[in-house]
Structure 1
Amino acid sequence: MEKLPKITIPVLVGVILLIIIIAKSSVTISSGHAGVLYQTFGNGVVTDQPPLGEGFHIIAPWNRVFVYEIRQQELSEKMQVLSSNGLEIKLDASAWYQPVSADVAKLHQEKGENYLQRVIQPAIRSAARSVVGRYTPEQLYSSKRDAIQSEIYEETKKILDNQYIQLNEVLVRDVTLPPAIKDAIERKLRQEQESLEYEFRLEKATKEAQKVRIEAQGKADANAILSASLTDKVLQDKGIDATLELAKSQNAKVVIVGSGDSGLPLILGNN
């Protein structure tokens, strides 16, 4: 077997070292991620430059890159909190969040890669306890779910706005009350519904009776006005008008003028 030329060995070593250097000096950032550069022989985390964007990058082999996902992510939390009267409520909620891309280096420097456990979870738990503690179990069960969702979002956002994290939404999926409390609330709601239904029927009947009374009173008032206006003179005039109309009829008749009880003409005979 022939020996390799002496010059070949250094070349091979150089190629191997070059491959190692290139491997250590390159980094590829995936879609939806950003890289935080750490300079080992510099000032550490680079915060005065934009983070490394998506794609291929060459860095010094002694430096490091910490990759963060900057897309929207979801945190699901199941918490036990207390209502305003001290009853334990189970809350199932989700938070949609993402690191602020431009501040991801500061996030890494001040909070670290486990910022979810250090910042976001404590923030949403604190906000949930504070908000739920303002309401009774009945309010939480019936009409205040949208309100507590909005309030938890606002309080959590106030905390995270200064932590280089963008909070997009908080969703309350479920509010679970103790079974005994839930049953009592449902019974109360049914009773209230039945009471409202009874009041509606009673009000409807009252309005119908009032309508009948108004119509009867209207008829009575109309009759009274009519009776007051029908004097003897008016009746005679009406009788004369009616007699003249009958006299115009084509049927055979006999008109006796002045023979009625009130001096009105009498009409006798027809075909």
Structure 2
Amino acid sequence: MEKLPKIGLPILIGIIVIIIVIAKSAVTIDSGEAGVLFRTFGEGVVIDEPPMGEGFHIVAPWNKVFVYETRRQEIFEKMKVLSSNGLDIQLDASAWYQPDEKNLGRLHQEIGENYLQRIILPTIRSAARSVVGRYTPEQLYSSKRDAIQKEIFEETKKIVDGQYIVLDEILVRDVTLPPTIKQAIERKLKQEQESLEYEFRLVTAEKEAQKVRIEAQGKADANRILSASLTDKILQDKGIDATNRLAESPNSKVVIIGSGESGMPIILGNQ
């Protein structure tokens, strides 16, 4: 009975050691992640093999696994930049990014896990300062927001693409100007709108006046043509026709005496 504890103690110690080794060797990589293996007694960071995928893995306890999130991620950044005339502009932007999974080993070896702070953010800030510095506050406030968003993205992507990082998009969410500048721009825009409205009213009035002139000219031309076509003979024939129709009416009593200068009867009255 006394020997059992002596035999069981090494077994218990062995079991504990095995559990510790397995715990140290077991690596679980969650969904949307990948692992970079570091061989302590080998070549170091493994770059010539695909990264470790999702699931359960057993590695030598003296090796290490660095886990990276490979899903698309978003970072928000507030920046103070200068416009073309030296005014402070606050830019609120966000970036969609993810590591290049095929080159995850190289990313870890050359840049490291904090690639966001080392590469992405400094590059976005530099590109934003460069791009915004080309525009006036008025352009940034009104018509050029889409343009600066595109230019910041393109300039950032040129650098980031060579750093084993995939940059999907940069969004400019807000541009904040100094209050006095913003108010001045709004007043100017309001005045321009009122000026455009006034010009529109003038153009409309001019078109209406032109329409009236055209109609009046048309009527005048028609009267002139009609007057030129009404000869004395035509007028006399029309008068005879009208007199005949009036005389044929059963309800009319016509008295004719004398004649006018044209020889037409003169109608004095009817009942």
Using structure 1 for the length normalisation, give the TM-score.
0.90
> Does structure 1 residue 184 correspond to structure 2 residue 184?
yes
Which amino acid is 1:21 matched to? V
Q: C-alpha distance in 1, partners of 2:222/2:257?
A: 33
Contact 1:253 1:267 in 2 (8 A): no
Q: C-alpha distance in 2, partners of 1:231/1:268?
A: 25
Contact 1:95 1:170 in 2 (8 A): yes
Task: Give per-residue Cα distances to partners, 1:202-247, cap 9 Å, x unaligned.
Answer: 2222222222222222222221111111111221232233334435
Post-superposition offset of 1:248: 4.3
1:151 corresponds in structure 2 to 151
Post-superposition offset of 1:69: 0.8
Q: C-alpha distance in 1, partners of 2:191/2:268?
A: 75
> Does structure 1 residue 96 correspond to structure 2 residue 99?
no
Post-superposition offset of 1:262: 2.2
Aligned length: 271
Task: Return 235-244 or 104-113, whichever deviates more.
Answer: 235-244
1:223 corresponds in structure 2 to 223
Q: For the structure 1 residues 121 and 231, does the alpha-carbon distance in structure 2 shift closer, same or farther, using more than 3 Å as the test?
A: same
1:34 corresponds in structure 2 to 34
Post-superposition offset of 1:83: 1.1
Post-superposition offset of 1:109: 1.1
Q: For the structure 1 residues 266 and 198, does the alpha-carbon distance in structure 2 shift closer, same or farther, using more than 3 Å as the test?
A: same
Task: Return 93-102 or 180-189, whichever deviates more.
Answer: 180-189
Post-superposition offset of 1:168: 1.8
Q: C-alpha distance in 1, partners of 2:270/2:132?
A: 94
1:136 corresponds in structure 2 to 136
Q: For the structure 1 residues 96 and 267, does the alpha-carbon distance in structure 2 shift closer, same or farther, using more than 3 Å as the test?
A: same
Task: Give per-residue Cα distances to partners, 1:138-170, cap 9 Å, x unaligned.
Answer: 101111112111221122122211111111221
Post-superposition offset of 1:198: 2.0
Q: C-alpha distance in 2, partners of 1:263/1:253?
A: 21
Contact 1:252 1:269 in 2 (8 A): no
Aligned to 1:34, the other structure's residue is in SS state: strand
Aligned to 2:162, the other structure's residue is in SS state: coil
Contact 2:246 2:252 in 1 (8 A): no
> Does structure 1 residue 57 correspond to structure 2 residue 43?
no
In structure 2, runs of 5+ residues without a counterpart are none
Identity %: 77
Post-superposition offset of 1:267: 6.2
RMSD, aligned α-carbons: 2.3
Which amino acid is 1:108 matched to? H
Contact 1:84 1:136 in 2 (8 A): yes
Contact 1:257 1:264 in 2 (8 A): no
Q: C-alpha distance in 2, partners of 1:252/1:141?
A: 84
Q: C-alpha distance in 2, partners of 1:195/1:127?
A: 37
Which amino acid is 1:22 matched to? I
